[in-house]
Amino acid sequence: MKKFIIFCFLLAAYAAVNAWSPVAWLRTQSEIDLKEIIAVPSPKSPSICESVKVVQQASGITVSFNANLGNLIVEVVDSAGDVVFQQKVNATAGSNLPIDTQDWESGTYTIRILNEQGNGCEGCFEI
């Protein structure tokens, strides 16, 4: 018990000196839940949601592609509906797209990952 109290004291002291938030540290690796968007049904195309993982870290978000999905548009929209990030990528298995969000205002954002037919997925996150 004594060691735990000392650990908590040291953690609090470190947080105070370095302006570090243990709550923010605990959420440094949260995965963003994605839901499917189907504009044009196509049984031949792989599900984008099943092949994409979006993880939020303290410095931004990372979009990871687990399959060859071809050309995709990755965009992030703020709560006012303004596009704050948009990039066309050639999504290949094992590739990643880091998005720096450190200078963005606090709020709710929606990330959309769409193919050329408008199919894809989206999910919300907060900064």
pLDDT of amino acid 30:
80
- Domain ranges (residues) in the chain: 1-27, 32-126
pLDDT of amino acid 46:
61
- pTM higher than 0.95: no
Does 8 score more than 50 pLDDT? no
Using a pLDDT cut of 90, give the percent of the chain over it. 56
Does 69 score more than 90 pLDDT? yes
**CA dihedral defined by 57, 110, 86, 59, rounded to 10 degrees?**
-10
Q: How many other C-beta atoms can be found within 10 angstroms of the C-beta atom of residue 104?
A: 15
pLDDT of amino acid 40:
58
Rg (C-alpha) for the chain, rounded Å, is 18
9-47 pLDDT, tens digit per residue, is 454 555 555 554 444 444 456 877 777 765 555 555 567
CB-based contact 52:37 (threshold 8 Å): no
Architecture of domain 32-126: Sandwich (2.60)
